[in-house]
């Protein structure tokens, strides 16, 4: 049925039931995980996600989204699909208890970054790096290094080569952040100005009387 409504007429042709049209290029962006280091010497923490067409654009978008309003000395991003995740535990169960030990694998070792989630609702925090051939082997080695330690309800293992790090030259990007006080609401002395205005207004009214 044809419609006289121009909004309806602008719609693309209806797709028949159970018929799926191929998606256009870049119709759906890839999801990337964002990690931020608040200060030198502090561990990286998971900060959130961005959607981007590629790794470099994800880095740019992450910088704009997550590091403009607080102190930051470094950041990195990695595609979500390349984060190897352990089971998520409940209560006092340690996630390492659910990691089945994998024997040492033959072959060239690679670096993996290990992240721990101490409590649901918190963020994953960097625990350290290990050398392994496979993600599960990396988690096994991490288990040998950090268990039994503090409670861990989830573990991430990320191949270091998959991460887009901040280079030493790029760290200058954040040197000016602490000086941008105009970003902080506390720097606007609106309350004091309003008080002065009301006092002056009150004095004017007294003079008129």
Query: pLDDT tens, 157-180?
Result: 999 999 999 998 887 776 655 555
In this structure, the number of other CB atoms found within 10 A of the CB of residue 128 comes to 13
Q: Would you say 51 and 29 are in contact if contact means Cβ atoms under 8 Å apart? A: yes
Sequence-distant (6+) residues with CB within 8 A of 67 are 36, 75, 174, 177
Closest to 53 measured CA to CA, from 76, 71, 79: 79
Q: What is the pLDDT of residues 22-80, one digit of tens each?
A: 666 656 789 999 999 988 899 999 999 999 999 999 999 999 898 877 778 899 999 99
The distance in angstroms from the start CA to the end CA of the chain is: 76
pTM of the model: 0.71
Six token digits for residue 96: 């390492």
Q: How far apart are CA 144 and CA 130, in angstroms?
A: 11
> 27-31, 69-73, 117-121, 134-138 — which is least confidently predicted?
69-73
Q: How far apart are CA 190 and CA 162, in angstroms?
A: 47
Which regions of 22-109 does DSSP assign to beta strands (E)?
Answer: 30-37, 45-52, 74-79, 83-85
Six token digits for residue 38: 């608040």
């Amino acid at each position: 049925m044809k419609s006289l409504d121009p909004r309806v007429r602008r719609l693309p042709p209806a797709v028949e039931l159970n018929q799926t049209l191929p998606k256009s290029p870049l119709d759906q962006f890839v999801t990337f995980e964002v990690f931020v280091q608040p200060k030198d010497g502090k561990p990286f923490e998971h900060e959130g996600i961005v959607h981007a067409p590629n790794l470099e654009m994800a880095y740019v978008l992450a910088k704009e989204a997550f590091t403009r309003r607080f102190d930051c000395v470094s950041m990195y991003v990695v595609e979500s699909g390349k984060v190897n995740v352990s089971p998520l535990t409940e209560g006092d169960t340690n996630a390492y208890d659910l990691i089945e030990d994998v024997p040492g694998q033959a072959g060239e070792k690679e670096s993996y970054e290990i992240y721990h989630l101490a409590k649901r609702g918190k963020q994953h925090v960097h625990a350290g790096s290990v050398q392994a051939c496979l993600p599960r082997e990396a988690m096994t080695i991490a288990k040998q290094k950090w268990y039994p330690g503090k409670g861990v309800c989830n573990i991430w293992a990320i191949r270091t080569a998959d991460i887009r790090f901040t280079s030493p030259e790029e760290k200058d990007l954040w040197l000016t952040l602490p000086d941008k006080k105009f970003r902080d609401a506390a720097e606007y002395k609106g309350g004091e100005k309003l008080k002065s205005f009301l006092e002056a207004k009150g004095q004017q009214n007294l003079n008129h009387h």
